[in-house]
């Protein structure tokens, strides 16, 4: 079943602010195999010119899951349990680093849904902003929704 194209252009902001914790950054760094002290040790991070420990450059790409991965679970969006959605392309722009202690707003906008053969391409833009509205990070994800395109009319 195709995804609901009425969602193109719709935005959603997470109901709660996300507070970045030092321990979360440590766990994330360990999970990606990073041992650089700017992720782990406040003193080392300050020596490198950062206010405190910083987030690895892929950290912001995970906030979507934490904040409830809108609109995947919205019934009208039409995402089926099967087939699967696969991440094909991801663009991240860092307006500034994410630090421990940051309080961040998370907003997702559906940019596009279109057919790619039997599949559909589904593009989302995530904006991470500070409590004061300062841009922190922009993530654009292109997901491939496998085999969900509407059947094409047979031409004979």
Binding site for another protein (CB under 8 A): 27-28, 30-34, 36, 38-39, 48-50, 54, 56-58, 61-62, 65-66, 82-84, 86-94, 97, 146
CB 149 within 8 A of CB 118: yes
Three-state DSSP class for residue 24: helix
Token representation of residue 104: 């961040």
Our CB check for another protein shows the closer of 113 and 143 to be 143
Least distance to another protein, CB of residue 118, Å: 14
Least distance to another protein, CB of residue 65, Å: 4
What minimum distance in Å lies between the beta carbon of 97 and another protein?
5
The full DSSP string for 28-79 is HHHHTT---HHHH-HHHHHHTT-SS-B--TTGGGGHHHHTT-TTTT-GGG--
Of 33 and 117, CB closest to another protein = 33
SS3 27: helix
Compute the least distance from the CB of residue 155 to another protein, in Å. Answer: 28
CB 3 within 8 A of CB 148: yes
Q: Helices then strands (H, E): number in the chain?
A: 4, 6
Nearer to another protein, 12 or 18 (CB): 18
Select 35 or 156, whichever has its Cβ closest to another protein: 35
Q: How many angstroms from the chain centroid is the CA of residue 150?
A: 26
Q: Which is nearer to another protein, 9 or 90 (CB)?
A: 90
Smallest distance from the beta carbon of 48 to another protein, in angstroms? 5
């Amino acid at each position: 079943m195709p995804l609901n194209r009425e969602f193109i252009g719709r935005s959603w902001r997470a109901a709660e602010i996300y507070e970045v914790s030092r321990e979360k950054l440590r766990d994330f760094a360990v999970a990606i195999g990073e041992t650089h002290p700017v992720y782990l040790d406040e003193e080392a991070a300050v020596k490198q010119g950062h206010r405190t420990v910083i987030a690895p450059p892929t950290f912001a790409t995970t906030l979507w899951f934490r904040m409830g991965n809108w609109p995947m679970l919205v019934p009208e969006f039409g995402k089926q349990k099967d087939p699967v959605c696969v991440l094909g392309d991801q663009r991240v722009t860092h307006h500034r680093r994410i630090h421990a202690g940051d309080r961040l707003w998370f907003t997702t906008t559906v940019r596009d849904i279109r057919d790619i053969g039997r599949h559909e391409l589904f593009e989302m833009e995530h904006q991470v902003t500070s409590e004061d509205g300062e841009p922190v990070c922009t993530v654009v994800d292109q997901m491939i929704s496998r085999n969900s395109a509407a059947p094409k009319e047979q031409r004979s």
